Amino acid sequence: MSYTGSCHCGAVRFRLHAEPDALTTCDCSLCVKKNALMTRVHESQLELLSGIEALSEYRWNTGIARHFFCKHCGIYTFHRKRAMPDHYGVNIHCLDDFDYRHLPVCAAEGANMSLHGDSLRDVWPGPREAS
């Protein structure tokens, strides 16, 4: 199964070669502000069809996660994950004609992931049940 997706203006187009089976929210400051609802896929399952020149990248904190937005319309399309750098989180709302409402939602505890500094946690606790 595959699904196509895009940003709002259509400059960035991609194909997801996977059947989304779960969704994730995250409480880090970036995901909260962009109201992200994501599905996770291996890098081999995300194909950029057009618009690489329209993508803008944002990195913060450790600089590992790479968040991609359309530089024309500002829509967050996907990001390369910090905790799983060979996976992408894909904005489920960017998929064309996909009904996500039947999928379970997990909540990632991004707000408590380690930051640069002396009081870092050794282990990320992983996802929790969405409330």
Nearest to 88 by CA among 43, 51, 58, 118: 43
C-alpha 79/C-alpha 87 separation (Å) is: 9
pLDDT tens for the chain, 131 residues long, are 999 999 999 999 999 999 999 999 988 888 889 888 999 999 999 999 999 999 999 998 777 889 999 999 999 999 998 878 899 999 999 999 999 999 999 887 776 765 554 444 444 455 555 55
For residue 97, give the CATH number of its domain. Answer: 2.170.150.70
**101 contact partners, CB below 8 Å, separation of at least 6:** none
Range of the domain at 104: 3-110
Among 104, 93, 2, which residue's Cα sits nearest to residue 45? Answer: 2
Q: Do the domain assignments include residue 101?
A: yes
Query: Is 124 inside any structural domain?
Result: no
Q: Is residue 130 part of a domain?
A: no
| Both structure tokens of 91 | 């904005």
- The number of distinct structural domains making up the chain is 1
In a domain, 129, yes or no: no
Using a cut of 0.85, tell me whether the model's pTM lies above it.
no
Question: Would 26 be classed as within a structural domain?
Answer: yes
